Amino acid sequence: MPLINLVVTLVVVGVILWLINNYIPMDGTIKKILNVVVIIVVILWLLSAFGILGDMSAVRVE
C-alpha cells in the first residue's frame, strides 16, 4: 500500500473522529470508549499494513 494512501486514510479517520466528538452530543464515557476503539483499530490496521501483524483476514472471533 502506498504511503500516500496511508496518510490520506489516517487524515480521513482523524477528521471523522473529530467531527463525531465535536458535533454529536454524547456522554463523555461513550466518547472515550469510541476514541479508544478507533485508535486500537487504526493501530491494528497500520501494523497489518506494514506487515508486522500478518494477515488480519485469518483472524476469527467466535
Q: pLDDT of the chain along its 62 residues, tens only?
A: 688 999 999 999 999 999 999 999 999 999 999 999 999 999 988 888 888 877 766 767 77
pTM higher than 0.85, yes or no? Answer: no
Q: Which three cell numbers stand for residue 60?
A: 476469527
